[in-house]
C-alpha cells in the first residue's frame, strides 16, 4: 500500500500528493513499513522506527542530530514510555535516508502565521489550510533536518504511535501464542506478562509473531499513566561524554585516512587566483593540493591534503595565493549598518516593507496619540563558533560515497555528497556522529560537499577535511545584522495604543535554500518568517499595529543562529516595551501584565519569573544588594514562552550578571532536567552575545579571528541560573532556543535601571 | 621518539611526527586518542587540555618534543582501571553537566589537575584553573559538580 502510494506520488508530483494523501492520518503515514530498517541476525522490524533484537532489546532509528540539546534522550523516552521498558533498554541505531524520517514540523513552523491564528481550538481556516498543505508537502519531501527547536514537537505523535503500535503487536503476539485475551496481558520491563498464570515472554521471543500481528486500534498511553515522560531521567549520552568515548565528526578515524585543511580567501566572497603550491608541496607530510570550486555556499578555496591535520594545516599556510577581491566589492559592516537604518527609516516613513502583521490603523493612532515615542535599535552580525569546528569525513570508492558528518541536515548532506561525486543519492551512505555544538551552523552542508570533492582525489582513501578556527570565524553563515525603527503611541494614562515596527535585514531562508535545497529555491525571495519573527507575533494587546520588514541583500553570507530572528527582534521589542513602561512611569512587570489580559499563558510565565526573582509586588519582595538592579523580558518563540529576570551590577564599569531567573511554559515537558539544562545553556549563549558578541567586516575581511575575539562567558563570570516551569498539558513546544531571546533585553533593561542610560544597540559593551 | 601516555609507552613512527608537531595532533592523528579535542589551536579554549607531569597543559600549543619523557594523561586515562571512573567523572554524570560534550574532556582534565594539587580549592582557585570555554553554556554546573567531590576549604578562624 505504502509503496503503491509512493509510486503514485512520484508520478503525480506535489499537487497530486495533496489529493491522493487525503484521508491518511498524518502520524500513521510516517510509521513506515516493517522492511524499512536494515536487520541483523535475529532482529525483527516492527515499523520504520522500531526493531527488536533477539534478546528483546528495543532499537530505535535515530535521524535527529544530538548537538547537546538532549534530543536522543527525549525521543528515546517517548519510545521507552510506550513500550514499557527502562530508558536504558532503548538502543539507538542509524536511520537510513527514507522520507518518513523527514522533519515535518520545521517546515510547518516556517509559515509566517500569527500565533492567534494557530491557537489550538481557535485556528483560522486559512492557517489550518496553509499548515495542512505545507505538512503534506514536507511529508512527501521527507527532508531530515534538526533545527528550529522542532524535534520533539515533530516526533511527539509519530514516535509515541510507532511505539504504541509495536506494543500492541507484541501483546497481540502473546495473546495468540498463549490463547489468552489481550486485555488480560500486561507489558512491563520489556516483556509481556499474564499475571494470573505467571506466563511471561520478553519482546525478543514475541517479535517474529508480532510483526505478523495486526495492531488493531492503537492509542498512545494516557497522560496519567506516564511513568517516564515528565521525569528528569538522566541523559543517555553523558557517560560517553564524561569519559572521552563520545565520537564527534572530527573523531572519525579510519584505516589509511588522510587529512585536508581548507584555506579560503580572507575577503568574504573573494576567490583564489594563481596558487603557487611548491613551498607547500616541499613540506614533509604534504601530499597534494586540491582546488575547490564554490560548493554549497562555501567560496572557492584550495585545500591541502596531508598525513595529519597538522601537516595539512602547515601546508595550507605555506600556499602562496593571489587572492581576488569579490566582484561585488569589499564588504563593510559599518556601511551596511548605516544602509539598514536608512532603509528601515524610509520604509517606516512611507509605509514600506513587507507587512507581516496589521491590526487597526497604526498610523492614524500614532498621529492622534497623547504621546509618541520613537527608538531605533541595532544588532550586529554574529558567528556560531561551535566548539567542534566545521569538518567532514568522506570516502569515495567503487562508485559509492560514504560520509561521516556532524551535521544538522543529513538529508541535504546526502544530496550534496551525491551531486559533488556525480552519483545517485542511493550511492551515498551517511553516518551521523555526535555534533560538537550546532546552533544552526550545521544546517549548512558546505563542508560535506568540500570533503567529498577532496575525497574524489585521494584514491579511495578516507579523507577528513577540517576548517581551522580562523576559517570558521572568518567564513561563517552569520546571524544577520538587523535594525528596527519602533514607534509607539500612548494615551494619557501611558497605555500603548499603537505600535509601528519597521525592521530591516537580510533574509536567511532564501539564501539557505539556494545553498542547500536549490530545488526549493524561488526566483524571487518569498517573505522570510525568520526576519519578522519575534516582532510581528509579539503578544501584547495593542489595538493598532503595523509590523513590517525590509528584506535587504548585504552580500554577507547569513544563516540560522540559535533562536534566529528572535535573537535580535526580542531585544528590539522588549527593550522598547520597557521604554514605554518607564515613559508611563509604571513598573515594567505591571505594565506588561496590563497588556496581557488576553494572554493568560504569557501572564502566568511573567508572574512566575517575577515571583521567583523577588520582584516587588509579586509575592515576597527581595531587596537587592546595593549597586545591583533587575531587568525583565518576556518572549515567545518556537512554541514556548520564556520570561527572564536578570540581576546585574557594574564592576569597574563592566556589567556583571549575578543571577538569571527563567520561567517558562514549554507545553508538555518530556524531561524537566533537560529543559533546565537548555535554559541555562540558552542564557549563557545569549549572555556572551549580549555583552560582547559582534562580527565586524572591514575591507571585506572579518576582523574577529578566533577565541576570545568571539566571546564565550567564562566560569568566573557565570551567573546563578534558575529555571521554573509552568505546568502545561499542551503539546510540547521548543526547548533548545527559546531561552536565548529574552536574555539581551532583560540585561539591557536592568542596566537602564542601574545607569539611567538606555542601550539600544548590541553588543552592550560596544 | 616515545611518549608515556596513560601509563603506557607508545612509540611514534619517525616519519609521522616532527619534534615541533603539537602534542594534540600526535594524540589525535597518530595515536588515535580522539578524546582530546581540537577547538582553537591557540590555547584559548582549553578543549585540548591534558595533564603532563601533573600540570594541566593545552596540548594544541605544546610541541611533542616538550612532552617526551613526561607522564601524559588524557581523558582516556582519567578513570582508574581498578576503581573505575574518576570522582569528577561520576560527579559530571550525577550533575548532568555535558550537553554537546565536545569541551568536557578538557574541562575534566583541568579540574582533575587542580584537585590533584589542591583537594579543597577556593572558588577563586577553581575560576583560575577552569578557564576552558564551553559554547553550550554548561559552566553553571561545573562548580557544583566539583564541589560535590571537593568541598570548600575550612573557613579561617
pLDDT digits 0-9 by tens, B120-140? 999 999 999 999 999 999 999
Q: Which three cell numbers stand for residue A192?
A: 509481556
Hey, how many other C-beta atoms are within 10 angstroms of the C-beta on B8? 10
What distance in Å separates the CA atoms of residue B137 and residue A385, rounded to the nearest whole number? Answer: 13
Return the pLDDT at A25.
Answer: 60
The predicted structure's pLDDT at residue A16: 35
Cell of B120: 579543597
Residue of chain B nearest A658, judged by CA positions: B140
Domain A31-103+142-242 belongs to what topology? Answer: Aldehyde Oxidoreductase; domain 4 (3.30.365)
pTM: 0.96
**pLDDT for the residue numbered A621:** 83
A176: its cell numbers:
495468540
Rounded to whole angstroms, the Cα distance separating A197 from B42 reads 68
Cell matching residue A148:
528550529
Cβ within 8 Å of A, B 6-25: 15-16, 18, 21-22, 25
Nearest CA in chain B to A252: B34
Contact B25 A435 (CB under 8 A): no
Give pLDDT < 50 ranges for chain A. Answer: 1-24
Question: What pLDDT, in 10s, does the model give residues A655-674?
Answer: 999 999 999 999 999 999 99
pLDDT digits (tens, 9 = 90+) for B66-99: 999 999 999 999 999 999 999 999 999 999 999 9
Residues from chain B contacting residue A721 (CB–CB below 8 Å) = 140
User: Rounded to an integer, what distance in angstroms lies between the CA atom of residue A11 and that of residue A149?
Assistant: 33
Q: Please judge whether B96 and A238 are an interchain contact, meaning their C-beta atoms are less than 8 angstroms apart.
A: yes
Query: Which of B98, B127, B143 minimises the CB distance to A238?
Result: B98
Q: Which tens digit of pLDDT belongs to each residue from A627-654?
A: 999 999 999 999 999 999 999 999 999 9
User: CATH code for B87-147?
Assistant: 1.10.150.120
Contacts of A285 in chain B (CB under 8 A): 16, 18
Determine contact: B84 vs chain A, CB below 8 A.
Answer: no
Are A310 and B22 a contacting pair at CB < 8 A? yes
Take residue A124 and report the three cell numbers written for it.
483560522
Interchain CB distance below 8 Å, B96 and A677: yes
Select the residue of B21, B44, B140 nearest A718 (Cβ to Cβ).
B140
- Closest alpha carbon within chain A to B107: A242
- Mutation target to probe the B interface, by most B beta carbons within 10 A, among A242, A312, A464 is A242
Find, in chain B, the residue whose alpha carbon is nearest to that of A718. B140
Q: Which of B34, B135, B140 sits opposite A385 (nearest CB)?
A: B135
Average pLDDT of the segment spanning B30-38: 98
Task: Say whether A389 and B75 touch across the interface (CB within 8 A).
Answer: no
Helix ranges (DSSP H) in A456-587: 469-474, 509-516, 529-532, 566-583
Note whether B138 contacts A719, CB cutoff 8 Å.
Answer: no
- Report the residue from B28, B104, B142 with minimal CB separation from A242: B104
Output b/e per residue, B73-97; b: 16+ Cβ within 10 A.
bbbbbbbeeeeebbbbbbbbbebbb
Write the class of the CATH domain A249-327+390-466.
alpha beta
Q: In what order do the strands lie in the sheet with A58-62?
A: A44-45, A50-52, A58-62, A90-94
Task: Check CB contact under 8 Å for A387 and B139.
Answer: no
CA A249 – CA A467 distance, rounded (Å)? 12
Collect all residues of chain A within an 8 Å Cβ-Cβ radius of residue B32.
253
Asked if B100 lies within 8 A of A437 by C-beta distance, the reply is yes
- Is the CB of A680 less than 8 angstroms away from the CB of B137? yes
Q: Where are the domains of chain A?
A: 31-103+142-242, 249-327+390-466, 333-382+478-755
Whether the CB of B42 is below 8 Å from some CB of chain A: the reply is yes
Which of A241, A285, A439 lies nearest to residue B98, judging by beta carbons? A241
The C-alpha atoms of residue A483 and residue A486 are separated, in whole angstroms, by 10
CB contact under 8 A, B135 and A712: yes
- Smallest Cα distance from B140 to chain A, Å: 6
One fold for A31-103+142-242 and A333-382+478-755? yes
Is residue B145 less than 8 Å (CB to CB) from chain A? no
- A contact test, residue of B96, B135, B138, B147 with most A CBs within 10 A: B135
Facing residue for A708 by CB, picked from B44, B96, B140: B44
Whether B65 contacts chain A with CB within 8 A:
no
Does the beta-carbon distance from A309 to B28 stay under 8 Å? yes
Q: How far is A316 from chain B (nearest CA, A)?
A: 15
Per the rule left: phi > 0, alpha: psi between -120 and 50, beta: everything else, A609 is alpha
Of A743, A639, A652, the C-alpha closest to A691 is A743
CA B121, CA B125: separation in Å to the nearest integer? Answer: 6
Residue B99's CB: how many other CB atoms inside 10 A?
30
B126 lies within 8 A of chain A by CB: yes
Q: Residue B32: closest CA among chain A residues belongs to which residue? A: A253
Angle between helices A566-583 and A672-692 in degrees, nearest 10: 80
Burial class (CB in 10 A: 0-12, 13-18, 19+), B54: exposed
Q: Do B139 and A438 touch (CB under 8 A)?
A: no
Contact B99 A685 (CB under 8 A): no
Are B45 and A712 in contact (CB < 8 Å)? Answer: yes
Query: Cis (ω within 30 of 0) for the bond into A57?
Result: no
pLDDT reported for residue A29:
83
Nearest to B99 among A243, A389, A681 (CB): A681
- Nearest beta carbon to residue A681 from set B29, B138, B143: B138
Closest C-alpha to A20, from A8, A37, A3, A34:
A8
Instruction: Note the pLDDT of residue B127.
Output: 98
**How many other CB atoms are found less than 10 A from the CB of residue A23?**
5
Question: Helix B139-147 crosses helix A672-692 at what angle (to 10 degrees)?
Answer: 120
**Three-state secondary-structure class, residue A72:** helix
List the domain boundaries for chain B. 2-76, 87-147
pLDDT for A22: 38
pLDDT at A7: 30
CB-closest option in A68, A235, A307 to B136: A68
The domain made up of B2-76 has a fold known as Ubiquitin-like (UB roll) (3.10.20)
Q: Provide the 8-state DSSP code for A323.
A: E
pLDDT at A4: 33
Supply the CATH classification number for the domain A333-382+478-755.
Answer: 3.30.365.10
Q: Which of B29, B76, B133 sits opposite A259 (nearest CB)?
A: B29
In angstroms, the CA B84 to CA A312 distance is 37
What's the gap in Å between the CA of B116 and the closest CA on chain A?
18
> Cβ contacts (< 8 Å) between A707 and chain B: which residues?
39-40, 42, 44-45, 133
DSSP string covering B92-144:
HHHTT--SS-TTHHHHHHHHHHHHHH-SS--HHHHHHH-----TT--HHHHHH
Nearest CA in chain A to B39: A387
Q: To the nearest whole angstrom, how far is the Cα of A383 from the nearest Cα of chain B?
A: 12
CB contact B118 to A (< 8 Å): no
Amino acid at each position: 500500500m505504502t509503496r503503491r502510494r509512493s509510486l503514485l506520488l512520484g508520478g503525480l508530483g506535489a499537487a497530486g500528493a495533496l489529493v491522493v494523501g487525503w484521508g491518511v492520518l498524518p502520524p500513521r503515514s510516517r510509521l513506515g513499513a516493517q522492511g524499512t530498517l536494515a536487520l541483523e541476525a535475529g532482529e525483527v522490524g516492527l515499523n520504520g522506527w522500531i526493531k527488536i533484537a533477539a534478546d528483546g532489546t528495543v532499537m530505535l532509528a535515530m535521524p535527529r542530530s544530538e548537538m547537546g540539546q538532549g534530543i536522543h534522550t527525549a525521543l528515546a523516552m517517548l519510545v521507552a514510555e510506550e513500550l514499557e521498558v527502562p530508558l536504558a533498554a532503548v538502543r539507538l541505531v542509524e536511520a537510513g535516508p527514507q522520507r518518513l524520517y523527514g522533519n515535518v514540523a520545521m517546515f510547518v513552523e516556517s509559515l509566517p502565521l500569527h500565533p492567534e491564528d494557530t491557537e489550538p481550538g481557535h485556528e483560522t481556516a486559512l492557517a489550518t489550510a496553509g499548515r495542512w498543505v505545507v505538512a503534506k508537502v514536507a511529508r512527501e519531501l521527507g527532508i531530515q533536518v534538526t533545527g528550529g527547536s522542532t524535534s520533539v514537537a515533530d516526533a511527539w505523535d509519530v514516535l509515541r504511535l510507532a511505539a504504541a503500535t509495536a506494543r500492541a503487536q507484541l501483546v497481540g503476539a502473546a495473546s495468540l501464542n498463549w490463547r489468552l485475551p489481550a486485555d488480560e496481558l500486561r507489558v512491563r520491563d520489556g516483556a509481556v506478562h499474564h499475571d494470573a498464570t505467571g506466563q511471561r515472554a520478553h519482546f525478543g521471543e514475541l517479535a517474529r509473531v508480532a510483526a505478523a500481528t495486526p495492531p488493531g486500534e492503537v492509542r498512545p498511553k494516557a497522560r496519567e499513566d506516564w511513568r517516564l515522560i515528565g521525569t528528569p531521567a538522566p541523559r543517555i549520552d553523558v557517560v560517553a561524554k564524561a569519559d572521552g568515548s563520545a565520537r564527534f565528526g572530527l573523531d572519525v578515524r579510519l584505516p589509511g585516512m588522510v587529512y585536508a585543511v581548507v584555506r579560503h580567501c580572507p575577503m568574504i566572497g573573494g576567490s583564489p587566483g594563481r596558487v603557487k603550491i611548491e613551498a607547500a608541496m616541499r613540506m614533509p607530510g604534504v601530499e597534494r593540493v586540491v582546488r575547490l570550486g564554490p560548493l554549497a555556499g562555501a567560496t572557492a578555496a584550495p585545500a591541502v591534503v596531508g598525513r595529519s591535520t597538522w601537516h595539512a594545516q602547515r601546508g595550507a599556510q605555506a600556499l602562496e595565493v593571489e587572492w581576488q577581491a569579490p566582484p561585488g566589492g569589499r564588504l563593510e559592516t559599518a556601511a551596511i549598518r548605516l544602509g539598514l537604518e536608512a532603509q528601515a527609516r524610509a520604509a517606516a516613513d512611507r509605509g514600506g516593507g513587507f507587512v507581516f502583521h496589521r491590526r487597526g490603523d497604526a498610523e492614524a493612532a500614532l498621529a492622534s496619540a497623547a504621546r509618541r515615542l520613537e527608538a531605533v535599535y541595532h544588532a550586529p552580525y554574529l558567528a556560531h563558533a561551535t566548539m567542534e569546528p566545521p569538518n567532514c569525513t568522506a570516502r569515495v570508492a567503487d562508485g559509492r560515497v560514504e560520509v561521516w558528518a556532524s551535521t544538522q541536515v543529513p538529508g541535504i548532506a546526502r544530496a550534496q555528497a551525491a551531486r559533488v561525486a556525480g552519483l545517485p543519492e542511493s550511492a551515498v551512505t551517511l553516518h551521523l556522529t555526535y555534533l560538537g555544538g550546532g546552533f544552526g551552523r550545521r544546517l549548512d552542508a558546505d563542508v560535506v560537499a568540500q570533503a567529498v570533492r577532496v575525497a574524489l582525489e585521494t584514491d579511495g582513501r578516507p579523507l577528513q577535511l577540517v576548517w581551522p578556527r580562523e576559517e570558521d570565524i572568518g567564513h561563517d553563515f552569520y546571524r544577520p545584522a538587523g535594525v528596527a525603527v519602533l514607534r509607539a503611541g500612548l494615551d494619557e494614562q501611558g497605555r500603548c495604543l499603537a505600535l509601528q515596527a519597521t525592521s530591516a535585514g537580510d533574509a536567511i531562508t532564501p539564501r539557505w535554500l539556494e545553498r542547500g535545497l536549490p530545488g526549493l529555491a524561488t526566483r524571487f525571495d518569498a517573505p522570510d518568517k525568520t526576519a519578522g519573527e519575534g516582532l510581528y507575533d509579539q503578544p501584547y494587546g495593542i489595538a493598532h499595529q503595523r509590523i513590517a520588514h525590509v528584506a535587504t541583500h548585504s552580500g554577507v553570507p547569513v544563516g540560522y543562529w540559535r533562536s534566529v530572528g528572535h535573537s535580535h527582534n526580542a531585544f528590539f521589542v522588549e527593550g522598547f516595551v520597557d521604554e514605554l513602561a518607564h515613559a508611563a512611569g509604571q513598573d515594567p512587570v505591571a505594565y506588561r501584565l496590563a497588556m496581557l489580559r488576553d494572554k493568560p499563558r504569557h501572564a502566568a510565565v511573567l508572574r512566575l519569573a517575577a515571583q521567583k526573582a523577588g520582584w516587588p509586588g509579586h509575592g515576597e519582595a527581595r531587596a537587592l544588594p546595593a549597586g545591583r538592579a533587575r531587568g525583565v523580558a518576556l518572549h515567545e518563540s518556537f512554541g514556548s514562552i520564556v520570561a527572564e529576570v536578570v540581576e546585574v551590577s557594574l564592576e569597574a564599569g563592566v556589567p556583571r550578571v549575578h543571577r538569571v531567573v527563567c520561567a517558562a511554559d514549554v507545553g508538555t515537558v518530556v524531561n524537566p532536567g533537560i529543559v533546565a539544562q537548555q535554559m541555562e545553556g540558552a542564557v549563557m549563549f545569549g549572555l556572551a552575545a549580549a555583552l560582547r558578541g559582534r562580527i565586524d567586516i572591514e575591507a571585506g575581511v572579518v576582523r574577529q579571528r578566533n577565541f576570545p575575539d568571539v566571546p564565550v562567558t567564562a566560569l568566573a563570570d557565570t551567573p546563578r541560573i534558575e529555571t521554573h516551569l509552568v505546568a502545561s498539558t499542551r503539546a510540547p513546544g521548543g526547548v533548545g532556543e527559546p531561552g536565548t531571546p529574552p536574555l539581551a533585553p532583560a540585561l539591557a533593561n536592568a542596566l537602564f535601571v542601574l545607569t539611567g542610560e538606555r542601550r539600544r544597540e548590541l553588543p552592550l559593551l560596544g | 621518539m616515545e611518549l608515556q601516555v596513560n601509563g603506557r609507552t607508545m612509540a611514534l613512527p619517525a616519519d609521522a611526527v616532527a619534534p615541533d608537531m603539537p602534542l594534540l595532533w600526535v594524540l589525535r592523528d597518530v595515536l588515535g586518542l580522539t578524546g582530546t579535542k581540537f577547538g582553537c589551536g591557540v590555547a584559548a579554549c582549553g578543549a585540548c587540555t591534558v595533564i603532563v607531569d601533573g600540570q594541566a597543559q593545552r596540548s594544541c600549543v605544546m610541541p611533542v618534543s616538550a612532552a617526551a619523557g613526561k607522564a601524559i594523561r588524557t581523558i582516556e586515562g582519567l578513570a582508574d582501571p581498578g576503581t573505575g571512573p574518576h570522582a569528577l567523572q561520576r560527579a559530571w554524570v550525577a550533575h548532568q553537566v555535558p550537553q554537546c560534550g565536545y569541551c568536557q574532556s578538557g574541562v575534566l582534565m583541568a579540574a582533575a589537575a587542580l584537585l590533584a594539587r589542591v583537594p579543597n580549592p577556593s572558588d577563586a582557585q577553581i575560576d583560575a584553573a577552569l578557564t576552558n570555554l564551553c559554547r553550550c553554556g554548561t559552566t553553571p554546573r561545573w562548580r557544583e559538580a566539583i564541589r560535590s567531590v571537593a568541598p570548600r576549604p575550612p573557613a579561617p578562624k
